Structure 1
């Protein structure tokens, strides 16, 4: 089984010399045998073909996912657990470790092993999977780890754009011409956009993590419901406010928010291994109150989301493979125009208690790569606690400023919730 990488996947893969790795860390209470861990990993590979795929190149140097026979197992690295924050140190190591994708799958596993408690990390190349897919195979891994005989089914994998875009659209002559025209215009424009002579030196990468307890998380959700805005909009507004407070005029007042393509393309199932994403950009109106700004931002979210057309976006991108080099150059060497990427995975629907162990927490994913501004915040909610991962690089956002942004964001949210409670 094999398929050619889509445009977005090729962009994330790059030339293979620079890592673009995502990490899902989680903490389990219990004791585990190595053979059971490896069996669970083998079973999710058996279900998902692309979790066992290598990358090969054809005569035109175009990359393909190709599934070898026999299966090359997911590599496992075991380290002794010394403290609560080992998983953060190991995450940073894994960000910087390139996948040897011609020899091993684009996924690996780190087991930080302790007595009665283990921190575990799924590490995967971002071209392989997004956060939604990762949560699906994490859920399956836990099911099999608890019960080696658990039936997790078999994925019918996406083999190309034709498995995502309905044939009535994909084969429509007018739609095809439109996609090709937009693609050509974009490719020409990208070619002539001025960029720096070399990519920005990102210097040292860093990782900042924190949680809101159940009470604060519940208050935050209640506040958003009362304001008739989503948690994503509220946190985006709070993040922009924090950037403005810390960076002043140097802040861009822009945050990029990924939108799950599964909301629009029913062909992509929850357990499909897939990495294509949509994006909207949000800004705040600094001339109105925070509460009024929330309403305006929510309207903007709904307006922009309603205009998203994943099928046309995919068709346009697939018409532009020859522009990949220029597009990548623009991302790497172009001037940064946004403060941060912010992703909210929402409530993680994975059980807490199993027969053989319990899940103490699932930390929010982290991801870092070479395509421009690395400043990223990811949040998720598990067991009623909202969890935050904030990552970046000194060359884009100094660590001291990132800490100040975190502190300002936490303070402003707490003050807002305290004020709302009084009212």
Structure 2
């Protein structure tokens, strides 16, 4: 089984020399054996062909996912658990460790082994899949780790754009011409956009992690519901205000927000291993008060989301493989135009109680790569607690400023919930 990488996957893969890795850490209470872990990993590999895939190149130097006849097991690294925050150090290590994807799968596993508590990490190349897919195979891993006879099914994998874009659209001559026209215009524009000769020096990468307890998390969700806004928009507004407060005139007033393509393209199932995403950009109106601004932003988010067209977007991108190098160069060397990327995975629908162990927590994923500004905030909610992972690099956002932005976001949340309590 094999398929050519899509445009977005090739962009994330790059030349393979610079990692673009994502890490999902989680904490289990219980006792485990390496045999049980390897068996569970083998079972999720058996379900998902692309978790077994290597990458090969054809005569035109185009990369392909290719599943070998004899599967290569997911590599496992084991180390003794010495502290509560050790998973953060290991996450940073995994960011910087390239995948030898011509010989090994694009995924690996880290077991920070304790007597009663273990922290575990899935690290994977971002070209393999997105956070939604990763949460699906994490849930399956936990199922078969607890019960090896559990039926997690077999994935019917996506083999190309034809498995995502409906045939009537993909084969429409009008849609094909439109996609090629937009693609050519974009490719021409990208070619002539001035870029720096060198990319920004990232310097030291860092991870800042924090949580909201169940009480505050519940209050924040209630606040958003009562004001008919989403938690995602509230937090986007808080992040933008925090950047403005900390960076002043140097803030861009722009946050990029990924939108799950599964909301629009029902052909992509929850458990598909797939990396393609959609994106919108949100900004604040600093002339408005916080709540009025969030309501205005919510209207903007809904308008922009309604205009998203995943099928045309994919067709345009697939028509532009010859522009990949120029596009990658623009992302790497072009001037930064947004403050950060903000991704909210929402409530993670994974049970915490199993027969053989307890899933104590899932820490929000982290991801970092070479394509421009690395500043990324990921949040998720598990067992009623909102969890935040802020990733950045000194060359883009100094660590002291990132800490100040975190503190400012927390001040905004506290202040708004105090208003709610008074009202």
Match in the other structure for 1:199: 199
User: Post-superposition shift, 1:225?
Assistant: 0.5
Alignment root-mean-square deviation, CA: 0.4
State the Cα deviation string for residues 237-279 of structure 1 (Å, max 9, x = none): 0000000000000000000000000000000000000000000
**Superposed counterparts of 1:141-290, under 5 Å:** 141-290=141-290
1:51 match = 51
Which residues of 2 match residues 32-43 of structure 1 at below 5 A?
A: 32-43=32-43
Secondary structure of 1:195's aligned partner: coil
CA distance in 1, matches of 2:409, 2:294: 15
Q: Does residue 1:104 correspond to 2:104, yes or no?
A: yes
Counterpart-to-counterpart distance in 2, 1:87 and 1:418: 34
**Distance of 2:116 and 2:203 partners within structure 1:** 38
Q: Which runs of 5+ in 1 are unaligned?
A: none
3-state SS, counterpart of residue 60 of structure 1? coil
In 2: Cα distance, 1:119 partner to 1:208 partner: 17
CA distance in 2, matches of 1:412, 1:174: 49
By how many angstroms is 1:366 displaced? 0.2
Q: Distance in 2 between matches of 1:26 and 1:304?
A: 34
Counterpart-to-counterpart distance in 2, 1:196 and 1:217: 43
What is the match of residue 29 of structure 2?
29
Match of 2:79 in 1: 79
1:387 CA displacement = 0.1
Aligned to 1:124: 124
Deviations 1:101-138, CA, capped at 9 Å, x for gaps? 00100000000000111000000000001000000000
Correspondence 1:247-396 to 2 at 5 A: 247-396=247-396
Residues 151-191 of structure 1 show CA distances to partners (whole Å, capped at 9, x for unaligned) of 10000000000000000000000000000000000000000
**Shift, 1:53, TM fit:** 0.1
Moved >6 Å (runs of 4+): none
TM-score normalized by the length of structure 2: 1.00
Alpha-carbon distance between aligned partners in 1 of 2:412 and 2:171, rounded to the nearest angstrom: 51
Counterpart CA distance in 2 for 1:353 and 1:291 is 38
- Structure 1 residue 328 displacement after superposition: 0.1
Distance 2:351 2:44 in 1: 18
Deviations 1:288-326 (A, max 9, x none): 111110110000000000000000000000000000000
Shift of 1:416: 1.1
Q: CA deviation at 1:419?
A: 1.9
Q: Supply the distance in 2 between the matched residues of 1:396 and 1:83 (Cα, whole angstroms).
A: 29
Q: TM-score, with normalisation over the residues of structure 1?
A: 1.00
Instruction: Give unpaired runs (5+ residues) of structure 2.
Output: none
Give secondary structure in 2 for the equivalent of 1:3. Answer: strand
Cα separation, 2, equivalents of 1:129 and 1:421: 41
CA distance in 2, matches of 1:222, 1:212: 14
- Partner of 2:129, secondary structure, is coil
